[in-house]
Structure 1
Amino acid sequence: MPEFEQKQLDKSSGVNVTALLTPKMAADILTISTKTMANWRVRGFGPKFVKLGSRVAYPVPEFVKFIDSRTCASTSQKLRD
């Protein structure tokens, strides 16, 4: 996965903009359906997301954190939530 950097929108404002993934992009990366992504959001599982009006987007750093939290070294290893 490419590394994304936070970019400063305006030096005087100090606002940082993070790359966002759509639910379809996130689902494609995880090889699951967008319906599964929606179900996860309802259950409070999955990567943290932002609501933009009626739209949902996943900040790339949060998406990467979610993947990292699900990474295991063996099948007997408990996952970090």
Structure 2
Amino acid sequence: MDELDLTSGETKATYKEIEEWVQEHYGFHVTNLNIAQVKQKHGIIERENYNKPKSENSRQPGTTPEKERAITEALKFFKMI
């Protein structure tokens, strides 16, 4: 954190805030899965996922590069990365 004396709790944005920021600045919708995937890619892991697939070879849809860039910008805006 910069010169500002912020705690990590003060710099966390909710998924809803990130979703709204992306919608306002980029004009498209991102899902909670998109946000979680980008956060994980940047090393922001909040908790273990308890809703795990039963099959080992199940697939999750990926996040498009355009959405990934938008979410990354939102995380920077909210000073999470």
TM-score by length of 2: 0.32
Bigger RCO of structures 1 and 2 (CA < 8 A, at least 6 apart): 2
Q: Which is strand-richer, 1 or 2?
A: 1
Q: Which is helix-richer, 1 or 2?
A: 2
TM-score by length of 1: 0.32
